[in-house]
Chains A and B, each alone.
Chain A
Amino acid sequence: MYILVVGGGKVGYYLTKTLVNEGYEVFLIEKNPIKVHIYRERFGAIVMQGDGAEVATLAAAGAGRADVVIAVTGDDEDNLVICQVARERFGVRRTIARVNNPKNEELFRRLGVDVTVSQTNVILSLIEQQIPERPFVHLMALRHADLAIVEIKVAEDSPVINQPIWQIPFPPEVIVTAILRRGEVIIPTGQTIVEPGDELIVVTKQQREAELRELLTHTTA
């Protein structure tokens, strides 16, 4: 797999380092020649100086055979254009953009970026996950078909408790992919019985989230 990283700030640097250590073929594009000089001493010839939003730079970096382009500069407008140029000119099938202003996540997805990563939202969701009282956590949104992955803590007195999954009246376009139970991960079948305290990892169409939340976190009382 060939991964092209654009933007050699802290995120781009550590991302490149990690991906190289994991054995991926990685190439890093950075604007600042001083940084490029330093990174070349550490990574060798896989670092190139240039503007990743320019067609010529992406071509020289071999964007045509890249499986993934990851745009992690500090400027949202640059990350958007890098992903769009990679997709439109080089047919890159998977583009990932760092989003500095969390409000841009939705816009970027509508404009064809496959995955967006907002540090603000990541930290927010980490905080949410640390708060045990929070029964419904949005883990990730996927662009295709408005899918989302959510984590739901089933209410102790929910009507779905002690029922096998096939009998629970889930809304359509929703699938339970994993159950977290006392530190274990269970991949459920229709026969798996939901127990008190279970956390369900559910893939859902985004428009079904409200029904799902209502079904699992609403108490009988």
Chain B
Amino acid sequence: MNIVIVGCGRVGARLAIDLVNEGHHVAIVDLKQTAFRRLPERFPGQLIIGTGIDEDVLRSAGIESADAFIAVTDNDNTNIMAAQIAQVLYRIPTVILRIYDPERAEIYRELGLHVICPTTAVATKIEDAIHQAQQAASASTTEQR
């Protein structure tokens, strides 16, 4: 698959490395050259410096022939705009974006975007862990009785 990633932070870089290893063609976009330091030397993917909300930048990343588009910059609104360019203008079949703000995540889910909200995802995991610990504790107190 041809995959375009916008944002070379921890998540973007990790995805780029994994997806290249799986044999995909990856192009990764970031505003800052220094962000690409997160990638290994001789990284076989394509690196593009620029903003992910500029169509010219996205075209040089090959958005026109992309099968999947991932928006994971640290700015919710940038991800939202980039993802809508990919979904509405370029009709990329798979568009995934990160939105930290749960309320905005909900709004754009309703608008048909595939949104991942790390805030609720992490909170839910922690709550689950707490609930499990609680159950284990109450189970052991019942046993003691």
Shortest distance between the CB of A24 and any CB in chain B (Å): 27
Set of chain A residues within 8 Å of B75, measured between Cβ atoms: 77
* Stretch in A81-89, A128-136, A137-145 touching the partner: A81-89
Assess A111 versus B110: contact at CB under 8 Å? Given A53-B104, A77-B53. Answer: no
Interface residues as binary, B119-130 with A (CB distance below 8 Å gives 1, 0 otherwise): 000000000000
Provide the residues of chain B in CB contact with A75, threshold 8 Å. 77
For A88-122 the 0/1 string (1 means CB < 8 A from B) is 11000000000001011001001100000000000
Return chain B residues, CB-CB under 8 Å to A151: none
A78 to B53, CA, bound (A): 11
B78 touches A77 (CB 8 A): yes
Cα A107 to Cα B78 with chains together (Å) = 14
A5 at the interface (CB under 8 A from B): no
Who on chain B is nearest to A59 by CB? B103
| B64 adjacent to chain A (CB < 8 Å) | no
Residues in chain A near residue B76, CB distance under 8 A: 53, 81
Tell me whether A46 is interfacial, beta carbon within 8 Å: no
Query: What separation, in Å, do the CA atoms of A54 and B78 have in the docked complex?
Result: 14
B104 touches A77 (CB 8 A): no
Query: Would A81 and B80 be within 8 Å (CB), given that A55-B104, A89-B107, A111-B88 are in contact?
Result: yes
B28 to chain A, nearest CB (A): 19
B81 contacts A85, C-beta separation under 8 Å: no
Whether A80 lies near B80 (C-beta < 8 A) is yes
The answer, yes or no, to whether A76 is at the interface (CB within 8 Å) is yes
Asked if A78 and B85 make an inter-chain contact with CB atoms under 8 angstroms apart, the answer reads: no
CA–CA, A156 to B76, complex, Å? 54
Give the complex CA separation of A88 and B84 in angstroms: 15
Given the interface pairs A54-B101, A75-B77, A77-B81, the reply to whether A84 lies near B107 with Cβ below 8 Å is yes
Which residue of A76, A85, A107, A111 contacts B104 across the interface (Cβ within 8 Å)? A85
A157 to B104 Cα, complex, angstroms: 57
B107 and chain A: residue at smallest CB distance: A88
Shortest distance between the CB of B110 and any CB in chain A (Å):
7
- Whether B77 pairs with A77 at a CB distance below 8 angstroms is yes
A81 and B81 contact, CB distance less than 8 A: yes
Q: Which of A53, A54, A107 contacts B85 (CB 8 A)?
A: A107
Q: Which residues of A contact B (CB under 8 A)?
A: 53-56, 75-78, 80-81, 84-85, 88-89, 101, 103-104, 107, 110-111
Q: Chain B: residues with CB nearer than 8 A to chain A?
A: 53-55, 75-78, 80-81, 84-85, 88-89, 101, 103-104, 107, 110-111
